[in-house]
Amino acid sequence: MSARIHTHTSNRAKPPQRVQPDKKAVFKSVLESPYRIQWPYVPLNLQNTILARLLSVLEGVSEYNSAKDKAHRHGKRARRDSNASRIRKKIKAHDQTAVQTDAISDMVVDSASTDAVAVPPKPPILDHIVVGINEITRRLETQIRDLRTAVKVSSKEIQSLSDSRREIKLIFVCRDDIDPQLLISHIPHLIGTYNSARPSEPIKTVALPKDSEGTLANVMGLRRAAILAFDAECPTIDEFQSLLQPISAIAAPWLTAGDELVPTHIKQLRTSAPADMKASKEQRVAGRKAAKEAKKGKSEAKVTT
């Protein structure tokens, strides 16, 4: 018995591709946008030093957030048990066993309340920290809007506004851990806009080393901590002043007063081009001519039919 031979084409076989002409890598000079704002350069050793100082400042935050989250879940469970016992009371209000059911329900609620989770004292630094891309974006937009809007308020209202809208003065960003980078591409522009309006009190920005987001999230008891900010009244912000001296502040030169021009920045764009430009052009012309003739032949065939 001879073996069966399959002559059909396999479904996994790739269709024949058009032969591509030989190409070479070329570089084209293009003008970059003059409104670009770059992140400040921070040496790696300085990044590690600032990260170590930041972790020591945030010590105890993880325990508080974990205990608070556990107490919140415990409270939800206790309220759920309480609501269930209240429903049982209404259903069995006219039952003879209502007294026993109430006693059991009270025991359940009492046991839930006695097993409450003890939450440690809140670290004072939590009142001066802003975490998250969206939250920091809103705070920066509010600060910029307040600089451009003059509002008449009383002394008491000024005090309440200063307590609720403390200005951000220091931002830590885990740039190398954020993917895609487009999520934080707007942050330098917001900071540059604010710093251009208040050059005497700029917002400093520090890029933390790679893989620092996980370390920062663990020390804070959070799932993610891609960006973190301190406000102007943070009690530990002075500990970073000596480390922040070599870091330049982000600025938008086109927003400052004066005739200072933004230097032209030319970048090289890597692309490809045919190795033989003449042969490639002749091939394109022949292809267009063949396609035109094929289209003309189809139209004539329709007319004759």
Let me know how long the chain is: 305
Distance CA 131, CA 61 (A): 13
Integer angstrom CA distances of residue 102 from 95, 105, 109, 112: 11, 5, 11, 15
DSSP letter assigned to residue 177:
G
In the chain, the N- to C-terminal Cα span, in Å, equals 53
Q: For the chain, give the longest Cα–Cα distance.
A: 103
Q: From the CB of residue 196, how many other CB atoms can be counted at a distance below 10 Å?
A: 18
Summarize pLDDT for 199-252 with one digit per residue, the tens: 888 999 999 999 999 999 999 888 889 999 999 888 888 889 889 999 999 988
The percent of residues in the chain predicted with pLDDT above 70, rounded, is 70
109 pLDDT band, cuts 50/70/90, is very low
pLDDT at 121 over 70: yes
The 3-state DSSP class for residue 19 equals: coil
- Distance, CA of 67 to CA of 113 (rounded, Å): 16
**What does the alpha-carbon distance between residue 25 and residue 14 come to, in Å, rounded to a whole number?**
27
Average pLDDT over residues 37-48: 91
The two three-digit tokens of residue 304, written as one number: 């004759």
Cβ atoms within 10 Å, residue 216 = 23
- Per-residue pLDDT reduced to its tens digit, 17-39: 555 668 888 888 888 777 788 89
Does the pLDDT at position 149 exceed 80? no
The closest of 136, 129, 260 to 186, measured between CA atoms, is 136
CA distances from 13 to 9, 16, 18, 19, 174 (A): 7, 9, 15, 17, 45
148 token code pair: 């451009």
